[in-house]
Amino acid sequence: MNVRDSEAVAAALVGAGHTAAVDEAGADLVIVNTCSVRAKAEEKALGKLGLLCASKRERPRRIIGVMGCMAQRMGEKVFEKVPTLDFSVGCRAARLIPGVVADIAAGGCGRRWVAEDIGCHDVPHGHLNAGLSAFVTVLLGCNRRCSYCIVPDARGPEYSRPAKEIVDEIACLASRGVREITLLGQSVLNYGRQREPVWDAPACAGAAFAEPFPRLLEAVAQVPGIRRIRFTSGHPAGCTEELARAFRDIPQVCPHLHLPVQSGSDRILKAMRRGYTAEQYLEAVERLRAHVPEIALTTDIIVGYPGETEEDFEATRALMRTARFDNSFIFKFSPRPGTPAAQLPDDVSPEEKDRRNKALLAEQDEIGVANNAAWVGRTVEVLAEGPSLRNPSRWSGRCGQNKVVIFDPVPGLTRGDLVKVEISRANPQTLFGNLVA
Ligand code: 5AD
Ligand code: SF4
C-alpha cells in the first residue's frame, strides 16, 4: 500500500513540474513515506529522517518531508523528534503534497503539519512509468478494528472506489504496457460491501457473479491486455463460494491469496477481534482449495499478543501445519498507541517473543521446502520478466502462485510473454525449470 501511495505522490509531483531523481543522493526533494503498524517501522523512519535532515547542512535548499501513517498519527509531534524537517502530511491529506512543496520552494514557511483531513477517498491515483506490473488501490481505509491494529486510526474508514474509476485506470495502464494488476485494500475482499452502489459500471456481458468483489475481478479481466490479476490482503469472511469460483473460472485471476490468520488460538483470535475461529479460517482455506487445489496461500502471524500462552502458541503452530502456507510473515506483537491491545499488559517477554518468532519461521521453512519440492515435474505458467539478476543468461518471472521461476530463454522471447515452464528443481525460495514448447 505504501509503495503504491509513494508512486502516486511521485506521479502528482511530476505532474506539477518536478522531475524524478535518479537516486536519493541526487534529489532536491526527499519524502519519506512511513508505516505505523509496528514501533520498529516508526523508529526506522525517524532515523532515516534524521539522516536526511542532517544532509541539509551541506545542501541548505534541500527539502525533506514525511508522509504516510506515522505523519498522520504523530501530527506536530514529529517536529519535536526531527526539528529541521520541512513538512509532514498525513496519509489522508496526500493530495496536498505538491502544493505544500511549492509553498516551501517559493520561500514560504517550512515546518508545517497539514492537519486537514481532506477525506480518505480524495487521494492521488496517478502512475509513474508503467512496467509490466502495477498496483491499483480499490479499497481505502479499514473498518475492522482488530484490537492490535493502528491502521483504522491512521487511514480512516473504509471507502470503495467506484468500479468504473478502477476499470478506467486499469485500461489506461494496459494501454501503457501493463500486463499484471494487483488490486489493493487492507481488507480487499470487503470491496463494495460498505458503500452502495459502487457498481456504476455497466454489468459485464454474461456476468457470472453477484458479489461486488468477484464482479470487479470479472470487469478487470475484460480489460484488453490484462493477463494477470492479483489482489491483497484477504480475510476469511470474504472467501465465499463466489470468490472460489472467480479463482477457478476467471483465467486471469492468479492462484494465490495472502490470507492473514494472525493466530491459531480461538482465545487469542477473539481477543484480537478477528471475527473468525481457527476452524472457520480453515474452512475458508478448504473452500478455496476445493475449487483451486493448486492455490498458493500466504499469511501473517503475530506472536506474543498479550496473554498468549504456550498452549495458544502451539495452536498457531498446529494451524500452520494444517494450512500448509507457502509463506508466512511472522511479527512480534508491538503495542500501538490508542489501540485496545495497548491497554493490556505486554506480558510476553521479548526473549519469549523471539523464541516463538524463530520457531514459527523454522516451521514455515520446513513447510515451504516441501511445498516447493512438490512442484518438481509439474508445469507452471510464468510471466516472463527478463534476465535474472543473479545470472543474466537465464530469465526470471513469477508463476501464478507468485513464486520466482528461473528458466533459459529462447530466441524471440519477449518481456510480458506468458510462457509454460516445467519445473526441474526447487529451493525454498525459487523454482527452476525449462520452457515447454
Ligand atoms: N504488532 C505486531 N504486528 C502487527 N501487525 C499489525 N499490527 C501489529 C502490531 N501491533 C501485523 C499483522 C498484519 C501485518 C501487516 O502486520 O500481522 O497482518
Ligand atoms: Fe488492521 Fe485488522 Fe484492518 Fe488488517 S483488517 S488493517 S489488521 S484492523
* C-alpha of residue 260 to centroid of ligand 1, in Å: 10
Which atom of ligand 2 sits closest to the CA of residue 145? 8
- The per-residue DSSP string of 152-170 comes to HHHH-S-EEPPHHHHHHHH
Helix (H, G, I), strand (E, B) or coil at 222: coil
Closest CA relative to residue 42, chosen from 337, 437, 408:
337
In whole angstroms, give the CA distance from residue 159 to residue 22: 34
Q: In what order do the strands lie in the sheet with 63-68?
A: 29-34, 63-68, 87-90, 112-114
pLDDT bucket at 385, cuts 50 / 70 / 90: very high
The number of the ligand nearest the C-alpha atom of 187 reads 2
Taking 80 as the threshold, does the pLDDT of residue 21 lie above it? yes
pLDDT bucket at 110, cuts 50 / 70 / 90: low
Q: Does the beta carbon of 334 lie inside 6 Å of ligand 1? A: yes
Taking 70 as the threshold, does the pLDDT of residue 133 lie above it? yes
User: What does the pLDDT read at residue 119?
Assistant: 61
pLDDT by residue (tens digit) across 392-404? 999 999 999 999 9
Question: Which of 78-87, 102-111, 320-329 has the weakest average pLDDT?
Answer: 102-111
In whole angstroms, give the CA distance from residue 348 to residue 320: 21
Mean pLDDT on 333-357: 97
Taking 60 as the threshold, does the pLDDT of residue 33 lie above it? yes
Q: Does the beta carbon of 187 lie inside 6 Å of ligand 1? A: no
Q: Are 8 and 128 in contact (CB under 8 A)?
A: no
Residue with cell 491529506: 93
Question: Which of 3-12, 71-80, 235-244, 265-274 has the weakest average pLDDT?
Answer: 71-80
Q: Does the beta carbon of 152 lie inside 6 Å of ligand 2? A: yes
**C-alpha grid cell, residue 346:** 505486554
The percentage of the chain sitting over the pLDDT mark of 70, rounded to a whole number, equals: 94
pTM value is 0.95
Taking 80 as the threshold, does the pLDDT of residue 111 lie above it? no
**C-alpha grid cell, residue 262:** 494472525
Q: Are 239 and 284 in contact (CB under 8 A)?
A: yes
Please state the separation of Cα 318 from the chain's center in Å.
26
Mean pLDDT on 226-247: 97
The number of the ligand nearest the C-alpha atom of 153 reads 2
pLDDT bucket at 300, cuts 50 / 70 / 90: very high
User: What does the pLDDT read at residue 92?
Assistant: 86
Name, in order, each residue with C-beta under 8 angstroms of 241's C-beta and a sequence gap of 6 or more: 287
Question: Beta strands of 217-357 (E only): which ranges?
Answer: 228-232, 256-258, 296-303, 327-332
Mean pLDDT on 357-378: 96
In whole angstroms, give the CA distance from residue 67 to residue 138: 20
Taking 80 as the threshold, does the pLDDT of residue 117 lie above it? no
For ligand 1, atom 14: residue with the closest CA: 300
In whole angstroms, give the CA distance from residue 288 to residue 430: 24
User: What does the pLDDT read at residue 60?
Assistant: 87
**C-alpha grid cell, residue 323:** 494450512
Q: What is the mean pLDDT of the chain?
A: 93
Closest CA relative to residue 219, chosen from 140, 141, 138, 281:
138
User: What does the pLDDT read at residue 194?
Assistant: 80
Taking 90 as the threshold, does the pLDDT of residue 132 lie above it? yes
Pairing type for strands 418-426 and 430-435 reads: antiparallel
Q: Does the beta carbon of 37 lie inside 6 Å of ligand 1? A: yes
User: What does the pLDDT read at residue 196?
Assistant: 63
Question: Beta strands of 69-160 (E only): which ranges?
Answer: 87-90, 112-114, 133-137, 139-140, 159-160
User: What does the pLDDT read at residue 75?
Assistant: 86
Cα atoms found within 13 Å of the Cα of residue 254, Cβ hemisphere only: 28
* C-alpha of residue 201 to centroid of ligand 2, in Å: 28
